[in-house]
Amino acid sequence: MSKGREKTITQTLLKQVICPHCWNEFPPEEILWVAAHSDLTGDPLLGNDAQQRFLPSRFNVQGKALDIKGVACSKLACPQCHLLIPRQLLEMEPFFISILGAPGSGKSYFLAAMTWKLRSILSNQFGLSFGDADPEANQLLIDYEEELFLNNNEDKLVALRKTELEGGELYETVNYGSGRTVQYPKPFVFPIQPEPGHQYGVHSRRLARALCLYDNAGEHFLPGNETANRPVQHLAVSRVLLFLFDPTQHPKFRNACKGQSQDPQMVDNVWSNRQDLIFQEAANRIRNYKGLPAHEKDDRPLVVVVTKYDAWCSLASGKPLKEEWATSPANPPYFGLNLKQLRNISRQIRDIVLKYAPEMVSAVEGFSSDVIYVPASAQGQAPELIEESGYLGIRPKDIKSMWIEIPMLYALHRSVPGLISTVKSEEAKKKAASSVNKDQTGKDQHSSPSQPRIFRDSGT
């Protein structure tokens, strides 16, 4: 390999790599390769069926490691846990986001609807590429997307299976020996970077991120359910925390919506959990992982996603969530976030949550100094009972997601400056222009309140 090529490869790698499974940090030269030859099986940490991991000494002209059988390899693994690491995590800074919520809060539906929406809007509305780092590793989420949005039978009720506490779909088992077995949550990894038309397209490499999403079973955060063999340290390394607060699980929300909502989750008391306690349990673990004193607040953005908006929208005058309230053209042809409006809506949603679930507001604001409340609905419609299984399902043709992408757009904006634009400058121009439209009495004849109260508590 020529010196020039060696230099090019070295420059594209990060100085330190973080494993998205065990969160071990190591230099890229320590990365293990996974043997490609079918005879090379057996790993001391992953079992007899796993392909061997090795530190290579031979490479082909394309820079791929050769296993002891001389076969070129393509997969990489962490030197500590031996689990697979997408190549992008050697080249892009990781961007960890933890998605938390009570059992039954709809995290799987939220994730599937969010990633599906991001696939359709990030490129043409925000100038960002977005795809799967490893489709095989993301297969569960891809299956969810296809079941909800690419289903051949759009009129048949479908229900996503519940996130399990254990199992190979969302967790991977590593046996370190001496009786120590650890189940690590599988990350869903998506590389994101500016495209040439983006306003900072020339800085694509610097702004590129490998988005790592974690979906833990809500039962993990029930008080007393923490165990050493199921670590959730991604809570400590995540740049943004998303907590899904489900009003359909709260008695006071259900009572307030009586006669206003036909959603069976509101009417039939399908599921209930003390969501404030679940959040506090997660917060305590974060404090332990980070060594954060009890009197000190976490300064990372915390997005409280108030889910299933369609079920409780009667408390917000029944208005559907409109995309133009949160996003609008900023740098043509691309869009940006309207942060001023988003924060205005956050205050209004906070008022509603404070009225019916004050303990939830107290829990999140007692932990974080940077909280925003965002309403959203993954389905946009009330689910129906599936007679054969007893589960609640949705007909794919009826899905009308609302604001499902806004929490992630906000998270990207807050954590990677320049990646998601804002419309702040455009608003400032409009405000300046409107200041000259006053009559002789000095009253503004054309301007309206810049922050109207979009929602109001209906008082039901």
Take residue 385 and report the two structure tokens written for it: 């009972």
- The domains found in the chain, sorted by start residue, are 14-88 (no CATH), 92-425 (3.40.50.300)
What is the spatial distance between Cα 281 and Cα 283, in angstroms, rounded to a whole number? Answer: 5
Take residue 144 and report the two structure tokens written for it: 């969810």
- Provide the residue type at 354 as one letter: L
3-state DSSP assignment of residue 262: coil
User: What pLDDT does residue 438 have?
Assistant: 43
- What does the DSSP 8-state code read for residue 127? -
Whole-number Cα distances in Å, 31 to 53, 54, 370, 439 = 10, 9, 36, 70
3-state DSSP assignment of residue 360: helix
What is the spatial distance between Cα 406 and Cα 411, in angstroms, rounded to a whole number? Answer: 8
Residues in the chain: 460
What is the spatial distance between Cα 312 and Cα 247, in angstroms, rounded to a whole number? Answer: 7
Looking at the DSSP bridge assignments, the partners of residue 302 are: 241, 371
Residues 98-109 pLDDT 10s: 999 998 899 999
User: What pLDDT does residue 453 have?
Assistant: 66
How far apart, in Å, do the first and last CA atoms of the chain sit? 73
Take residue 127 and report the two structure tokens written for it: 């100038």
User: What pLDDT does residue 451 have?
Assistant: 47
User: What pLDDT does residue 375 have?
Assistant: 98
Residue 392 host element (H or E): strand 392-393
What is the spatial distance between Cα 376 and Cα 355, in angstroms, rounded to a whole number? Answer: 19
Burial of 332 (0-12, 13-18, 19+ CB in 10 A): exposed
CA proximity to 148, closest of 378, 425, 319 = 378
Q: Which portions of the chain are predicted below pLDDT 50?
A: 1-10, 425-429, 431-433, 435-451, 457-460
What is the spatial distance between Cα 317 and Cα 308, in angstroms, rounded to a whole number? Answer: 15
What is the spatial distance between Cα 356 and Cα 255, in angstroms, rounded to a whole number? Answer: 10
User: What pLDDT does residue 167 have?
Assistant: 53
Residue 97 near residue 240 (C-beta atoms within 8 A): yes
3-state DSSP assignment of residue 390: coil
Number of alpha carbons in the 13 Å side-chain half-sphere of residue 436: 4
Number of alpha carbons in the 13 Å side-chain half-sphere of residue 353: 29
CA proximity to 425, closest of 321, 323, 328 = 328
User: What pLDDT does residue 233 have?
Assistant: 75
What is the spatial distance between Cα 397 and Cα 381, in angstroms, rounded to a whole number? Answer: 10
